[in-house]
Every structure is written in C-alpha cells, then in structure tokens.
C-alpha cells in the first residue's frame, strides 16, 4: 500500500549511486518530504489524543457481540468505556453484565434506573452503579390527579341529560291532561246532540196541538236550532283540541327520542341526543361517564388527546422508553445550567457554593483574593460547577488545595480581566481546569 504522505519506492525516481544529483532535483525531493511532514502534522493535530499514564491500559476488552451498536466514550471516572445512547434491558436481574446507559426497572419499587458504570450485578441491587431516571410513585400520583377534570365533565354531562329527561316526562304528563279535556268536550257535544234530537221529536208531537201549541213548537224549533249550532261548535272545538293534543304528543316524543344531531328547536336537542353524547365520549373504549383511575387498565396509562383533539390514552413508561430507545439523551437531560450571581458584587472574603442545588455557573467579583468553598457535593453522583471570576484578585479553592487536583499538575494562575474555573465532582473527589484572559 502506498504511503499517503511520501512514497519513494519508484527506483527511477531515486538518486542513483555514482550519478550527479542536480540541485534543482534535490530541492524538489526535499520539498516533497517537507510536504509529507506537513500533512502528518495536520492529521496529528486533528487526531483524538489520550494522555499516556504508566500502568493504565486503554484497551477495550469487550467481545464483538458486546461492542455491537455501541461507541467508545468516557465513563464517570474519565476512563474509556463502551457507551450506547440508551438500551432497554427490562427488569433488573442478578448475575447479569450491565453497560453504561443500560435502562432497567427495579421490580420491588417499579422505579426506572440508568446504568452509570459497567459491572456484573450481584444478588442485591447495587444503587451506586445506577442513577434514578423515573420515580414510579410520583408519576402515578400526577396521573391520578390529572383525571379529575375529565370526571367532573362527565358528571356535568350526565346531570344535564337527567334534567332534560325529567322535562320530557313533564311534557308527557301535560299531553295526558290535554287528552282528558278532549274527551270531556266530546261527551258534552254528544249530550247536546241527544238533547236536540229529543226536542225535535217533542216538536213533531206538538204539531197536532192547538195553534198556541204550534207557536210554542216554533219556539222549540228555534231552541233546537240553537242547540244544534252549539253542538257543532263544541264538536269543532273538540276536533281542534284533539289536533293540539296530537301535536303535543308528537313534540313530546321528539324531545325524548329524536335521533342524535336532530334539532327540535334551533340549538336545542332531545334527551336521547345528550345521553348518546355522554355515552359515546370514551377513552380507550371506556365511557367518559364511567371514567375513573381504575378504568385505565395498563400500569402507567393516562388520558390525553390526539393532534386532532380527540380523546386518547397514552402510557408514560412507553413514552419514556420511546425517547430512550431513540438514543435521545436530551429526553432526560434537557436542562440549562442555573446562574448564581449572589457573589458578583459581594465583598465577603469567602464564597460558599451549595453543590447540592445541581450543576450551575457562579459569577464572582474578584477584585481581591477570595476563598471558594464547595459545600454538600453528592456522594456517588457526578456534577459540574463553573466559576467565572471577574477581575484579577484571584481565587483559592478549599477542596482543591494542591497541584494534583488541577489539569497540568499546577495551581491555576489568575487572568488580568477574567478567569474561568471548570470544576468537576466525580462522586468522590474534585478535579479542576482553568481558562483566563490577560
């Protein structure tokens, strides 16, 4: 294989013994050598370099199967390690080899954990190898409290349907009263007709009577005519009442049983419409009128809505698992560093930083020498603190007193304008790096 930097294997291109080498040819040969060295320098500058430490091996000993779908990175101690995005391993098991960023469920607590250090598990869950990713009890509590608005909506819908059904029953009772009135009118008309017939018969007998009786008979005829007219009017009123009763009955039936979506009056619907609306509003096949925490059948289910606004059921462990399996570390780590400016203008000689509050940037006014104390670092957890000092007064760190704690093996110098200290807690000890502007 040809050397990509400088290749002198071609005999015809070499200087031959006993021949005269022209200065121009020698210069050209040296130019090619210099170009090769420059290419080597550029590639070396771009290469990944690791510090050589006596007695420390940089070899990756994992088998080809163990290296599959993983990358080379650094563990919590800064050593080389095989790392994946996140790998779902299911329930934690004893006597099992785990790698950095493996995700397991602890069966006893249902909590989710992410592996921080490659190891083979023992008989008991070793918490020092794991970081808590999801607290099961906390998630369940939030999901149960989130169901209450839906239960309230379902209850209100059921109460509305009940009220409208009661109104329909009242309408039906009113229709029954109308029917009774119609029947009474019909009986009155029948009696009036019977009376008219009887009087007409009596009038026929009176025709054989005296002239005085005939006059009386004429009067009776007039009375009979009046009675007939009254009977006809009563019959007409009865017919109108019957029609009104039938219309009321039809209207009452519509208020009770009209199909869903049919308007009885503008903007008003039947009791059946509202009952169907309450029954048809479901989540995962469960009617909203029956929805309660127990109706969601799978552990971690919670109610939600799709992009089109329709009800849906989601599962919190599945959602998080999807993020993890998609190799998306930002799913759990999308937080910015908080900025602490408490000591930016504070003239005290001591700067106390509470590391338990999490990763942070601390801005310090640095016109005079000040002492920094890093308090409450979490054991077994890695954390990053950045101290930005404004001015040339200088800082000393109580927890990093000697050169061995600092990169390069020397105590940091102080810049004339500003100095930036990068402090890393490994879970057991501090390490520091520094940058400055003169």
Q: Could you give the residue ranges of the DSSP H alpha helices within 47-72?
A: 64-67
pLDDT of residue 332: 47
Same domain flag for 384 and 426: yes
* Single residue among 75, 104, 134 that ends a domain in this structure: 134
Same domain flag for 177 and 238: yes
Q: Is there a domain that residue 35 lies in?
A: yes
* Single residue among 111, 134, 157 that ends a domain in this structure: 134
pLDDT band per the 50, 70, 90 thresholds, residue 110: very high
- The 10s digit of each residue's pLDDT in 345-382 is 767 888 899 988 878 888 888 778 889 999 999 888 88
Count the domains in the chain.
Answer: 5
pLDDT of residue 259: 86
Q: What is the 3-state secondary structure (H, E, C) of 203-245?
A: HHHHCCCCHHHHHHHHHHHHHHHHHHHHHHHHHHHHHHHHHHH
Same domain flag for 364 and 418: yes
**Least confident range of 141-150, 341-350, 384-393:** 141-150
Same domain flag for 173 and 263: yes
Q: Is there a domain that residue 51 lies in?
A: no
pLDDT of residue 335: 47
Q: Is there a domain that residue 386 lies in?
A: yes
Same domain flag for 31 and 75: no
User: Please, which residues have CB within 8 angstroms of residue 296's CB and are 6 or more apart in sequence?
Assistant: 283, 284, 286, 302, 303, 313
pLDDT (mean) for 279-284: 61
- The 10s digit of each residue's pLDDT in 66-75 is 777 677 777 7
Q: Which range marks the domain in which residue 239 is found? A: 148-273
Block residue for tokens 């009979």: 224
Same domain flag for 229 and 303: no
| Coil vs helix vs strand at 430 | strand
Q: Is there a domain that residue 139 lies in?
A: no
Q: Is there a domain that residue 2 lies in?
A: no
Q: Is there a domain that residue 141 lies in?
A: no
Same domain flag for 152 and 253: yes
Same domain flag for 400 and 291: no
Structure tokens at 420: 């930036």
Q: Is there a domain that residue 143 lies in?
A: no
* Contact assessment for residue 162 and residue 156, using Cβ atoms and an 8 Å cutoff: no
pLDDT at 334 over 60: no
Q: What is the DSSP letter of 413?
A: P
Same domain flag for 368 and 417: yes
Same domain flag for 73 and 180: no
pLDDT of residue 270: 86
Same domain flag for 268 and 292: no
Same domain flag for 237 and 256: yes
Q: Is there a domain that residue 140 lies in?
A: no
pLDDT at 90 over 80: yes
> Which of 64-73, 174-183, 282-291 has the largest mean confidence?
64-73
pTM: 0.28
* Single residue among 252, 273, 294 that ends a domain in this structure: 273
């Amino acid at each position: 294989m040809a050397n990509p930097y400088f290749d002198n294997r071609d005999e015809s291109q070499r200087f031959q013994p006993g021949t005269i080498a022209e200065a121009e040819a020698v210069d050209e040969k040296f130019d090619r050598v210099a170009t090769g060295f420059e290419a080597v320098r550029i590639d070396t500058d771009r290469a990944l370099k690791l510090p050589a430490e006596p007695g420390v091996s940089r070899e990756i000993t994992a088998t080809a199967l163990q290296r599959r779908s993983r990358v080379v990175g650094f563990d919590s101690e800064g050593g080389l390690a095989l790392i994946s995005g996140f790998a779902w391993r299911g329930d934690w098991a004893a006597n099992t080899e785990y790698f950095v960023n493996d995700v397991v469920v602890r069966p006893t607590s249902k909590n989710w954990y992410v592996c921080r250090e490659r190891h083979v598990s023992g008989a008991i869950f070793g918490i020092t190898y794991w970081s808590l990713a999801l607290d099961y009890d906390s998630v369940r509590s939030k999901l149960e409290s989130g169901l209450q608005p839906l239960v309230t909506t379902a209850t209100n819908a059921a109460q509305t349907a009940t009220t409208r059904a009661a109104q329909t029953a009242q309408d039906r009772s009113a229709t029954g009263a109308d029917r009774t009135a119609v029947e009474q009118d019909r009986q009155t008309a029948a009696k009036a007709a019977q009376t008219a017939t009887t009087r007409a018969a009596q009038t026929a007998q009176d025709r054989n009577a005296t002239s005085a009786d005939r006059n009386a008979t004429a009067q009776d005829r007039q009375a009979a005519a009046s009675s007939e007219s009254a009977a006809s009017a009563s019959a007409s009123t009865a017919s109108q009442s019957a029609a009104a009763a039938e219309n009321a009955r039809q209207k009452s039936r519509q208020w009770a049983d009209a199909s869903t979506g049919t308007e009885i009056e503008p903007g008003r619907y039947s009791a059946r419409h509202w009952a169907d609306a309450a029954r048809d509003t479901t989540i995962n096949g469960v009617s909203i009128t029956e929805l309660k925490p127990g109706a969601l059948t799978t552990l971690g289910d919670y109610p939600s809505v799709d992009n089109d606004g329709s009800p849906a059921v989601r599962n919190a462990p599945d959602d998080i698992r999807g993020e993890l399996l998609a190799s998306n570390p930002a799913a759990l780590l999308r937080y910015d560093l908080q900025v602490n400016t408490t000591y930016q203008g504070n003239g005290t000689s001591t700067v106390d930083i509470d590391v338990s509050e999490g990763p942070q940037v601390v801005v310090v006014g640095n016109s005079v020498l000040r002492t920094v104390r890093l308090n409450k670092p979490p054991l077994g957890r890695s954390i990053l603190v950045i101290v930005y000092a404004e001015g040339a007064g200088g800082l000393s760190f109580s927890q990093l007193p000697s050169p061995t704690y600092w990169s390069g093996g020397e105590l940091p110098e102080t810049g004339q304008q500003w100095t930036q200290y990068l402090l890393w807690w490994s879970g057991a000890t501090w390490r520091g790096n520094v940058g400055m502007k003169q």
